[in-house]
Amino acid sequence: MTQPLFIGYDTGAPGGDIGVVRIGPHTLYQADAYHLRPKLGHFDAEVMDPPYRFNNSGGGAYRKARMGSDQIVAEALDQGFDHAIINPLRHGSVVVFCHNDQLPDLLAYLRPRYQRFCVLPWIKPNPQPVRNKHYLPDLEFYIHAWNPGHHPVGDHHDMHRWITAGTMPFKVFRHATVKPLPVMAKILRNVAGRTVIDPFMGTGSTGIAAIRQGKTFTGIEHNPTHFATAVERIAAAYREQQG
């Protein structure tokens, strides 16, 4: 028998009167991550896809037809994020997606705070044809950083292979930067521990992958439209796991 789905506002939640959805053991918050995340305590792993910082101009006819690039600007998803939300006192390991232009500053921030880290790519066979005097973005990077006891897990072949996965079309979930489930599945296989939080949940791909790996998921998303999409997708993944 599946556990009940609760949707509502929780005045007793950390941070005050915020939107909360509980799906079995998993909890989703509609809230500002910078305000709420420090109040939620420690998790084994933190997996995040925060706003990138990059030049999102250009695109011509492609931009007009696809609309995702304009949404990125409208939602300030090209303005970067405050590194201070990554705090090793609140997790054993962290996975952070970023644009390659962000790597120098982000690695400099992570290096004194974690025992080890690795920069990893996933390969996009269908990158957006927007270069802006840069390389075509057919590689996208994420950093996995960890402290003692939270090193990556998995067998030899899984740990040493790159993932190739097409980006999700904007029209599917009306979100321009949805991470492919094969990418998130690999990452969630490789992070240690049972509890996972994503402070920039978006439409919920991290939560789906976490649930399929038998982990307990907590997500935060401030945009009500994307939050509703995440609730629907994660609830479906939970029902799938319950049989």
Residue range 114-134: mean pLDDT, rounded: 85
Q: What is the pLDDT of residues 128-175, one digit of tens each?
A: 777 778 888 888 999 999 999 999 999 877 777 778 876 665 555 555
What integer best gives the mean pLDDT of the chain?
Answer: 84
Judged against a pLDDT cut of 80, whether residue 32 lies above it is answered with yes
Judged against a pLDDT cut of 70, whether residue 219 lies above it is answered with yes
Residue 135: strand, helix, or coil: coil
Give the confidence band of 118 by pLDDT, cuts at 50, 70, 90.
very high
Please give the torsion angle defined by the CA atoms of residues 164, 166, 167 and 172, in that order, rounded to the nearest 10 degrees: -140
* Dist CA 98 CA 140 (whole Å): 7
Q: What is the pLDDT of residues 68-90, one digit of tens each?
A: 566 665 665 566 799 999 999 99
* Dist CA 21 CA 195 (whole Å): 17
Name the residue with higher pLDDT: 202 or 172. Answer: 202
In order of 14, 22, 104, 168, the CA distances from 19 in angstroms are: 11, 10, 36, 27
Judged against a pLDDT cut of 50, whether residue 2 lies above it is answered with no
CATH assignment, 5-242 = 3.40.50.150
* Dist CA 164 CA 158 (whole Å): 13
First to last CA, the chain: 9
Q: What is the pLDDT of residues 176-190, one digit of tens each?
A: 567 889 999 999 999
**The pLDDT of residue 162:** 78
Give the confidence band of 25 by pLDDT, cuts at 50, 70, 90.
very high
What residue spans define the domains of the chain?
Answer: 5-242
**Closest C-alpha to 206, from 128, 94, 74:** 94
Residue range 191-203: mean pLDDT, rounded: 97
